[in-house]
Amino acid sequence: MKKGFTLIELLAVIVILAIIALIATPIILNIIEDSRKSAAIDSAKLYVDGLSKYIANRNLTTDFMPSSCVVGDTVKCDNIPLDYKVDGEKPTSGYINYANGIVTNYNVCVMNYKVVKQNGNITATKSDECNGNGGSTQPTDPTDPTQPQLTQYGFVTYDRMSVNTTTMAMTGVIIGTDGHTATGKTAYLKYNLTNGEVADGTVPVACIYSEDRGGELCIENNNQAGATGTAQRILDYFGFSETEWTKVDNYNWNDPTGTLSCNIVSFLATTCYDDNAGMSAYTSGRVLSMAYPHLNNKVPDAVTGKHHFSCYVDSDNSVLCE
């Protein structure tokens, strides 16, 4: 007569299998997740490389070198529709930015992942901006106002052609949801979009960006409504406090560290500076930041050896980054 397994032995086997499953399941899930991320990154890279080659071929005959492309069911580069189609997985929404024909950064939704290239690094993360079908809360057609969308803006900043250049110029409009990410700069002009593009007559705001200061500050020129609120936002951004800061004279204040200062003449003439971040903001509608050495033919800062550059919105609504 054969002897079977006892109940205790069966329970022991079940417990052992449960422990193995408990250990193995997260590992297997991580492997699957990593594979999906890699597939999303590979799909995004193939798509962007293909679009870049398409643009390069078109540039040979039509002198076409866009600064930004919005992708999805349709492709628009500098608001010009392109007949670019690919097989397989492709972005359902997002944007790709270029400088002199070279991809600088992109942010696209592929296979339920947001794939981002910034500063040469490419990452893929699940995001609420991309739904389960690989779609996005951004419109697949940015010209269709009936579709839900993640707010995008047009950004303009300065373009430094090379380290030793003696000239520079404003960039074209760069489409994105975040100015610092889209431009790679700490000062820029920010435009609201109409049907996916900057409409004629649109007046931007001037913005600076600093992680130390909590992100982005955008200001209007002081001839626009809300000058009092603009001054207060500048003071709040730079952390001004009458009780903690020292009043140097009638108009100037310094923070306890000596790195922050504000000049407060009135709510129409308020300026604050951050020496560590190398930036300042004015209620006149101007923001200023520090650029790289040899940016242009201006004399560099005596301490840092860097040049200041600024973006501003003038009282007549003219704009410039220089």
- pLDDT tens-place values along the chain, 322 residues long: 556 677 887 888 888 888 888 888 888 888 888 888 888 889 889 998 988 888 888 877 777 777 778 887 788 877 677 888 887 788 887 888 887 778 888 888 888 888 888 777 888 888 766 754 333 334 444 444 444 345 788 888 877 544 444 556 777 888 887 787 777 778 888 888 877 788 888 888 888 888 777 788 888 775 544 455 678 888 888 888 888 898 888 888 889 888 888 888 876 778 888 877 778 888 777 887 765 433 334 444 444 444 567 787 877 777 877 7
How many Å apart are CA 101 and CA 123, to the nearest integer? 22
Both tokens assigned to 148: 């839900």
pLDDT score for 306: 47
pLDDT score for 320: 78
Identity of the residue numbered 252 = N
Both tokens assigned to 4: 């079977």
List, as one string, the DSSP characters of 107-174.
EEEETTEEEEEETTEEEEEE-TTB-TTS-BSS-SSTT-TTS-----EEEE-EEE-STT-S-EEE---E
pLDDT score for 148: 39
State whether the Cα torsion 117-121-127-131 is positive or negative.
positive
Identity of the residue numbered 297 = N
Cβ–Cβ < 8 Å for 295, 301: no
Both tokens assigned to 27: 């590992």
Both tokens assigned to 18: 């449960």
- How long is the chain? 322
pLDDT score for 3: 64
Spell out the residues 6+ positions from residue 137 whose beta carbon is closer than 8 angstroms to its own.
Answer: 128, 129, 130, 131, 148, 149, 150
Residue ranges of domains in the chain: 10-148, 168-321
DSSP letter, residue 300 = P
